Amino acid sequence: MSADPTIDTAADPAADLVAWRSLCRSLEAVGERICADDFPSDPTDRAEGFRHILRLMTFATQWAVEFGDPDFPAFVRTTDDAVMFGGPSADNRNVRARVDGSGTYRITGTIGSAFDVLFTATGGDMALGQLSVSDEVSASQLDIAGDGSFELTVSSTEHPGNWLPMASATRRIQVRQIFTDWSAQEPGWFDIERLDRRAAYPAALTTDTIAEMLGEIGRWVGSSTTYWNDYQRDIRSRLTPNTIDAPIPQAGGGLSIRYGFGWWKLTPDEALHVSFPPPRARYWSLQPYNVGWFEALDYRNRQTTINNAQAEIGDDGLVHIVLCATDPGIANWIDTAGHPEGQLILRWIWADDDAESVAPACVVAPLQTPATESAVPPIDRVAIVRARRITVARRHRR
């Protein structure tokens, strides 16, 4: 049956069509926005910017459409090797669920064999101005059964047993599974349910509901694109190139995490040498990020990160890391993946209470590649990268 020609739907569209048109216009505006002078202008950076928008759309669509109901929550993977924003850690498998701070929830699952897991109650997304973190608990603090299974109650009122407190402003639960030995440690799985909900099933989808979802996607993508660029520009303005600050707590970050922000800027024939004593922390890592988009560099196909379990300690008792574009033939190499500059984060997690945060020593030196004839056994980088690809695929269930 053909449509009634006397009805002009364009003149009086439904709310969902209005929202759809608005989303399309907002995405067009975001594309125009990243071409402005306050965003990176290098052609490679610009290309990564448009890829970044697509990545944000991928996550925002899932978060708004499929995982938006705090009465019927479920965990969704936040960042991985393909979808990135906000400076994610390559050592993590991050998932989140939407909650209502007035409700009572139960998280069940298995911990797996990750180094540890952080459960954090937050106010939402930093890019939306929601920086509050009400509380967090790690798996090492929980009562876990012999088979790795557990239950964790999440609520504003205290409960016996495993309990994660949240505030009235809490809007999501973030779970960070942290992996130090990538080849040996396996992820767990998590489910979450609201215990005090009234309805037996989720409400049927309506015109108004889908319109709200479309609006959330547009706001989330637009805010995230500009927020993280501004965030990095502010950090860059306060840093001397080729230095790293002493790790300290940061607003919006995990309560157990200290972040040391740094910036590298190198020519192709230069290398940044970073040295520091092994931190008095259960976990540490040094990771690079691209400019403007705050994405981790390609850790699936390159050796772009290093952590406490992967690093070799020098004869002098220090950690020595070399960051450069060409393989220097050492174990503690961070590959800049062709990026001449970018942000660095030195993370400490679960540091001793009295551990003093100290800035690493950073020196720029000419790049040195392995000699053709050397008594030192060569680093089999091909095997290292292949192992990374396999472990990343396994961690993210591909």
Domains and CATH numbers, the chain: 15-225 (2.60.120), 240-395 (2.60.120.1600)
Write down the mean pLDDT value for the chain: 94
Rounded CA-CA distance 15/11 in Å is 12
Q: Count CB atoms within 10 A of the CB of residue 141.
A: 11
CA distances 49 to 236, 242, 337, Å, are 18, 24, 16
Judged against a pLDDT cut of 90, whether residue 378 lies above it is answered with no
Q: State mean pLDDT over 338-359.
A: 96
Going by pLDDT thresholds of 50, 70 and 90, the confidence category of residue 132 is confident
Kindly state the tokens that stand for 158. 């205290």
Rounded CA-CA distance 82/296 in Å is 10
Contacts of 205 (CB under 8 A, 6+ apart): none
Nearest to 132 by CA among 174, 72, 78: 174
Judged against a pLDDT cut of 90, whether residue 9 lies above it is answered with no
pLDDT for res 260: 98
Q: 217-250: buried (b, 16+ CB within 10 Å) or exposed (e) per residue?
A: bbbbbbbbbbbbbebbeebbeebeebbbbbbeeb
pLDDT for res 256: 93
pLDDT tens column, 75-97: 999 999 999 999 999 999 999 99
pLDDT tens column, 256-284: 999 999 999 999 999 999 999 999 999 99
Q: State mean pLDDT over 43-52.
A: 97
Rounded CA-CA distance 84/82 in Å is 6
Going by pLDDT thresholds of 50, 70 and 90, the confidence category of residue 1 is very low
Nearest to 194 by CA among 48, 78, 71: 71
Q: What percent of the chain has pLDDT over 70?
A: 95
